[in-house]
């Protein structure tokens, strides 16, 4: 009746006791997993060929040994020794509980360490005592590839940590799922509230300062599948242009194994310092070009004016007694003198002024100039003089230094609308080797906006109404300071509300 069932084809007559033992031996020998049988005293009483191979010992070497045999050298996954009494077979033997999937490193004699996954199963033998069968297979390859992966991860982490380039992974919802330390620093320094989200609270601008719409931001473009090669842009916490970060950024879509875009990889470099340097260089070049231009014109102009001034003096002599002509020649002489003053300022700016430097006691010169200043700045401005420098001498043209100081005082007066405090102070400028003296003019006016600070030195740059300023005051001071081996710095006043303009000169 079972003839149509395939199992029925088996001749069950072979299943005698003796042949079951033979079958067991066949299976035992054929298994690729190592099998050892421990007697109740822990000694190994049987081992299959796979066990010989996996343990690197012959059957004779294995039989009779216990787990506590000093010849076994076993380690745990964390590298600490694996004591014989803790081997899974011994635990199973003691407790009667099966031990599952224990990882054990064994080092058969000189062979390299090999990782085994061990299962130990207790069973009751014919004598009624507890025995254990331990079955194990080699997982060295798995452990090695896991170790290798861990090593690669470690290396990658080290590289990402050491990199000065910023690396960030941004998910479609804007969450940053990875930042390397350099990027974390930016986030902390430039936009503390945006550690979580790449763009919440952060504006992205083109290098010209035009805002970039959210959908055109690099992470979003990458999340749509676009790859963007190193492109310059500005990142800034919303409304904080003072904390701008100029960066060059690349962006790429990151896909999962199924090829779907999961995040955007952003790699960017802070070029703020380089940018600042470039801007400074460009500003310096512009000033130099302006200097050459104005210098050339001023020079020729000065010659023409000299001719006019000399001739008009002769004409004035010749028309004495004619009031009409006297008035006209007077106007010409005055205009020529004014023209002479302007060209002198232009020459000063272009550093072509003929200077007569000598040793000057700057404090004494400031005292004298202050007397001149009182009537110029008027009675409603408090003059606060603080002469604190210890190096008080400089090699400069005293006349030009006086003019420079008057220019700064007049600027402060005009900025304060004739009312406020003008502080003139000197101090030793902290320089590494050559001592310098700093003469600073601070006022309680509105100050000079940061974006104008480079421009105020340009000749003819003025914010004053037509006819009230020629825009040559600071140009003259700038040219004079540089021609005297010093410089001029425009800043905010620390304790007055307004500007702080200082001339820094090498001390004699
Ligand atoms: N102390 C100050 N506070 C605020 N703004 C200032 C101050 N000093 C200079 N400025 C700004 O710098 C500009 C240029 O100054 P600069 O002395 O070169 O020219 P000016 O004062 O406008 O004209 P000029 O000095 O030739 O009569 C001024 O127009 C003003 O906008
Ligand atoms: Mg001025």
Q: What pLDDT sits at residue 5?
A: 46
Do 98 and 115 share a domain, yes or no? yes
CA of 463 to the centre of ligand 2 (A): 10
pLDDT at 468: 86
The counts of H helices and E strands in the chain are 12, 19
Q: Judge residue 485's burial from the number of C-beta atoms within 10 Å of its C-beta, 0-12 exposed, 13-18 middle, 19 or more buried.
A: middle
Cα(471) to centroid(ligand 1), Å? 6
Residues 86 and 172 in one domain: no
Mutate to test the pocket of ligand 1, among 287, 414, 450 (most ligand atoms within 8 A of CB): 414
Question: How far is residue 150's CA from residue 66's CA, in Å, rounded to a whole number?
Answer: 35
Can you tell me the mean pLDDT for 129-158?
93
Asked whether residue 2 is assigned to any structural domain, the reply reads no
Distance 99 CA to ligand 1 centre (A): 88
| Residue corresponding to tokens 């599948």 | 225
Report which bound ligand comes closest to the CA of 463.
1
Per-residue model confidence as pLDDT tens digits over 64-101: 988 888 777 889 988 899 998 999 999 999 999 999 99
Average pLDDT, the chain: 88
Please tell me the number of the ligand nearest to residue 457's CA. Answer: 1
Distance in Å, CA 410 to ligand 2 centroid: 6
Query: DSSP state, 41?
Result: T
Q: Which of 411, 449, 454 to mutate to test the pocket of ligand 1 (most atoms within 8 A of CB)?
A: 411
Q: Which domain holds residue 389?
A: 358-506
* Predicted pLDDT of residue 79: 87
**Ligand 1: centre distance to CA 472 (Å):** 8
Q: Are residues 404 and 496 in the same domain?
A: yes
For ligand 1, what atom is nearest to the CA of residue 441? 1
Nearest CA to ligand 1 atom 17: 473
Query: Domain for residue 336, yes or no?
Result: yes
- Reduced to 3 states, what is the DSSP secondary structure of residue 229? strand
Contacts of 190 (CB under 8 A, 6+ apart): 235, 236, 237, 243, 245
Tell me how far the alpha carbon of residue 412 lies from the centroid of ligand 2, in angstroms: 8
Q: Which of 295, 325, 349 is the last residue of a domain?
A: 349
Q: Looking at the CA of 469, name the nearest ligand.
A: 1
Compute the average pLDDT of residues 122-137. Answer: 92
Q: How far is CA 163 from CA 115, 158, 230, in A?
A: 36, 9, 17
Query: Cβ(68)–Cβ(82) under 8 Å?
Result: no
Kindly report the CATH number assigned to the domain that includes residue 329. Answer: 1.10.287
Q: Is residue 128 part of a domain?
A: yes
| Number of the ligand closest to the Cα of 462 | 1
The DSSP string of 143-177 is HHHHHHHHHHHHHHHHHHHH-SSEEEEEETTSBEE
Asked whether residue 99 falls in the same domain as residue 222, the answer is no
Q: Are residues 338 and 441 in the same domain?
A: no
Q: Which ligand is nearest to the CA of 471?
A: 1
Q: Whose CA is nearest to atom 9 of ligand 1?
A: 411
Whether residues 344 and 362 share a domain: the answer is no
pLDDT in tens, 403-453: 999 999 999 999 998 899 999 999 998 766 789 999 999 999 999 999 899
- Structural domain contains residue 120: yes
Q: What is the pTM of this model?
A: 0.59
Same domain flag for 475 and 380: yes
Please give the pLDDT value at position 195.
41
Which numbered atom of ligand 1 lies nearest the CA of 416? 3
Give ligand 1 pocket residues (Cβ under 6 A): 407, 411-412, 415, 443, 445, 448, 456, 461-464, 469-475, 498-499, 501
pLDDT band at 396 (very low <50, low <70, confident <90, very high): very high
Q: Residue 501 CB: number of other CB atoms within 10 A?
A: 24
- The tally of domains found in the chain comes to 4
Is 137 or 201 the better-scoring residue by pLDDT?
A: 137
261 assigned to some structural domain = yes
Spatial distance between the Cα atoms of 238 and 199, rounded to a whole number of angstroms: 10
User: pLDDT at position 351, please?
Assistant: 84
Domain membership of residue 1 (yes or no) is: no
* 389 & 420 share domain: yes
What is the CA(447)–ligand 2 centre distance, in A? 14
Question: Do 307 and 439 fall within a single domain?
Answer: no
Contact criterion met (CB below 8 Å) for 171 and 198: no
Same domain as 97, residue 133: yes
Task: Give distance in angstroms: CA of 474 to centre of ligand 1.
Answer: 7
89, 13: one domain: yes
State the pLDDT at residue 341.
86
Query: Residue 1 — pLDDT band, cuts 50, 70, 90?
Result: very low
Q: How far apart are CA 166 and CA 266, in angstroms?
A: 8
Percent of the chain topping pLDDT 70: 93
pLDDT of residue 221: 93
Q: Where among 219, 252, 270 does a domain terminate?
A: 270
Q: Which of 349, 373, 394 is the last residue of a domain?
A: 349
3-state secondary structure 242-265: HHCEEEEEEEEEEECCCCCEEEEE
- Examine the domain organization and report whether 15 and 132 are in the same domain: yes
| Collapsed DSSP state (helix, strand, coil) of residue 420 | strand
CA of 406 to the centre of ligand 2 (A): 9
For residue 58, is it within any domain?
yes
**What would the pLDDT profile of 346-392 be if each residue is shown by its tens digit?**
888 888 888 899 999 999 999 999 999 999 998 899 999 999 999 99
> Considering only CA atoms, which residue is closest to atom 1 of ligand 1?
412
């Amino acid at each position: 009746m079972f003839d149509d069932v395939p199992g029925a084809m088996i001749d069950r007559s072979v299943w005698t006791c003796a042949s079951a033992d033979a079958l067991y031996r066949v299976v035992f020998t054929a298994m690729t997993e190592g099998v050892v049988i421990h007697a109740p005293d822990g000694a190994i009483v049987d081992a299959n060929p796979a066990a010989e191979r996996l343990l690197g010992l012959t059957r004779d070497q294995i039989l009779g040994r216990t787990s506590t045999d000093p010849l076994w050298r076993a380690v745990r996954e964390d590298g600490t020794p694996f004591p014989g009494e803790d081997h899974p077979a011994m635990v199973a033997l003691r407790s009667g509980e099966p031990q599952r999937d224990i990882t054990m490193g064994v080092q058969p004699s000189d062979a390299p360490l090999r990782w085994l996954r061990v299962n130990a199963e207790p069973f009751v033998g014919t004598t009624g005592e507890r025995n254990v069968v331990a079955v194990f297979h080699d997982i060295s390859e798995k452990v090695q590839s896991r170790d290798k992966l861990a090593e690669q991860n470690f290396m990658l982490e080290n590289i990402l940590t050491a990199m000065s380039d910023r690396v960030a992974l941004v998910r479609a919802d804007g969450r940053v799922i990875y930042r390397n330390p350099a990027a974390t620093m930016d986030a902390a320094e430039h936009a503390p509230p945006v550690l979580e989200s790449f763009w919440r609270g952060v504006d992205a601008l083109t290098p010209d300062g035009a805002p970039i719409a959210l959908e055109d931001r690099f992470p979003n473009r990458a999340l749509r599948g676009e790859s963007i090669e190193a492109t310059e842009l500005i990142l800034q916490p919303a409304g904080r242009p003072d904390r701008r970060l100029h960066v060059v950024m690349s962006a790429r879509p990151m896909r999962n194994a199924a090829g779907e875009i999961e995040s955007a990889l952003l790699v960017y470099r802070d070029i703020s310092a380089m940018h600042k340097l470039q801007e400074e260089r460009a500003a310096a070049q512009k000033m130099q070009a302006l200097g050459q231009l104005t210098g050339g014109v001023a020079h020729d102009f000065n010659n023409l004016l000299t001719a006019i001034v000399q001739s008009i003096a002769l004409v004035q002599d010749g028309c004495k007694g004619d009031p009409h002509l006297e008035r006209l020649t007077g106007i010409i002489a005055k205009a020529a003198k004014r023209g002479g003053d302007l060209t002198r300022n232009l020459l000063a700016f272009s550093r072509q002024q003929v200077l007569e430097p000598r040793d000057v006691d700057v404090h004494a010169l400031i005292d004298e100039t202050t007397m001149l200043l009182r009537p110029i700045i008027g009675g409603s401005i408090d003059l606060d003089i603080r002469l604190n420098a210890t190096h008080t001498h400089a090699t400069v043209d005293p006349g030009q230094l006086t003019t420079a100081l008057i220019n700064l005082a007049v600027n402060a007066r005009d900025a304060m609308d004739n009312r406020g405090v003008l502080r003139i102070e000197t101090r030793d400028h902290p320089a590494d080797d050559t001592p310098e003296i700093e003469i600073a003019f601070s006022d309680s006016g509105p100050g000079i906006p940061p974006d104008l600070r480079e421009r105020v030195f340009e000749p003819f740059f003025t914010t004053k109404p037509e006819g009230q300023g020629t825009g040559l005051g600071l140009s003259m001071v700038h040219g004079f300071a540089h021609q005297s081996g010093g410089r001029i710095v425009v800043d905010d006043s620390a304790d007055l509300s307004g500007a702080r303009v200082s001339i820094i000169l090498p001390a004699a």
